[in-house]
């Protein structure tokens, strides 16, 4: 992993019960032989997205001033930290607009099945239904950029997509300014880029997503629940879901993220 991406999340590799990350760097933690319990609401159904976004007690509607529409939600703690980050970015001449946030199982199922059936083209040009006859190959092709329902970090309400969905946007002009600011400052507010460029330290998983950032103080609690209870066999209920076991989605996608975000 290139050094600039390791820097971005240096402060999140602390205990997962830090709240909020804005003040995390000034807190001294006493080592404990037993980790704190995972919050009760972060159960298996929560981490697999099996809940109503609009009515969940820990999710807040995102104000239209911060998003591309007024019907997006995210975890309350992640939202509070984001607003602080947005304010700081704005003062530096950088505008962060949320393009996607919390998605439950049903929402992710819609994204997945449209791609599976070829209704939505992969990377804007590939019809998965016509191109990949083998179901495992089709699932792997979709998994380059989209999670299988039940395995997405967007279920947790901690992960947001900023400004655009193409890496090229963040490599020049205004987009590069946005990305550079995030790399240098997002860690101060608890945010980390989970899907960095693949290489020796991240050989599998989703392709690089410069737009996707995760609020670690809550996301790491969700990952603890995943590590404790999630199994590939639990993924079911939609076209291609049976491929989760053959692909080992847990190892090669859920856990295969930027190590600085773990």
* 52-102 pLDDT per residue, tens: 999 999 999 999 999 999 999 999 999 999 999 999 999 999 999 999 999
What is d(CA 82, CA 12) in angstroms, rounded to the nearest whole number?
15
Q: Which percentage of the chain shows pLDDT scores above 90?
A: 87
| For range 197-204, the mean pLDDT | 96
8 Å CB contact between 260 and 8: yes
DSSP reduced 3-state for 74: strand
Assigned fold of 40-261: Muramoyl-pentapeptide Carboxypeptidase; domain 2 (3.30.1380)
H runs (alpha helix) in the chain: 3-7, 44-47, 76-91, 105-116, 128-131, 135-142, 173-185, 216-229, 243-247, 249
Is pLDDT above 60 for 11? no
pTM, to two decimals: 0.86
Task: Round the average pLDDT of the chain to a whole number and report it.
Answer: 91
Q: In what order do the strands lie in the sheet with 159-162?
A: 98-100, 159-162, 212-215, 191-192
What is d(CA 45, CA 105) in angstroms, rounded to the nearest whole number?
10
Number of Cβ atoms within 10 Å of the Cβ of 119: 12
| For range 123-137, the mean pLDDT | 97
pLDDT band at 31 (very low <50, low <70, confident <90, very high): low
Q: Which residue in 151, 139, 143 sits closest to 47, CA to CA?
A: 151
pLDDT at position 91: 98
Is pLDDT above 90 for 3? no
pLDDT at position 30: 54
Query: How far, rounded to the nearest angstrom, does the alpha carbon of residue 174 sit from its chain's CA centroid?
Result: 23
């Amino acid at each position: 992993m290139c050094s600039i991406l390791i820097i971005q999340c240096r402060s999140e590799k602390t205990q997962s019960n830090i709240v909020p990350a804005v003040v995390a760097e000034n807190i001294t933690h006493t080592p404990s032989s037993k980790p704190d319990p995972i919050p009760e609401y972060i159960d298996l159904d929560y981490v697999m997205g099996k809940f109503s976004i609009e009515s969940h007690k820990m999710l807040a509607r995102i104000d239209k001033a911060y998003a591309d529409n007024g019907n997006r939600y995210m975890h309350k703690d992640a939202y509070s930290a984001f607003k602080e980050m947005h304010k700081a970015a704005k003062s530096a001449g950088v505008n962060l607009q949320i393009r996607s946030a919390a998605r439950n199982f049903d929402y992710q199922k819609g994204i997945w099945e449209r791609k599976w059936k070829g209704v939505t083209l992969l990377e804007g040009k590939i019809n998965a239904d016509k191109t990949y006859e083998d179901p495992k190959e089709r699932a792997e092709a979709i998994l380059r950029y989209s999670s299988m329902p039940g395995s997405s970090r967007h279920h947790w309400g901690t992960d947001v997509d900023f400004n655009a969905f193409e890496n090229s946007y963040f490599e020049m002009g205004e987009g590069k300014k946005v990305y550079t600011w995030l790399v240098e400052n997002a860690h101060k507010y608890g945010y980390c880029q989970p899907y960095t460029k693949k290489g020796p330290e991240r050989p599998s998983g989703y392709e690089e997503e410069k737009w996707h950032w995760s609020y670690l103080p809550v996301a790491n609690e969700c990952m603890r629940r995943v590590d404790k209870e999630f199994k590939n066999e639990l993924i079911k209920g939609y076209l291609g879901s049976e491929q989760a076991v053959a692909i080992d989605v847990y190892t090669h996608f859920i856990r295969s993220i930027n190590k600085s975000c773990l």
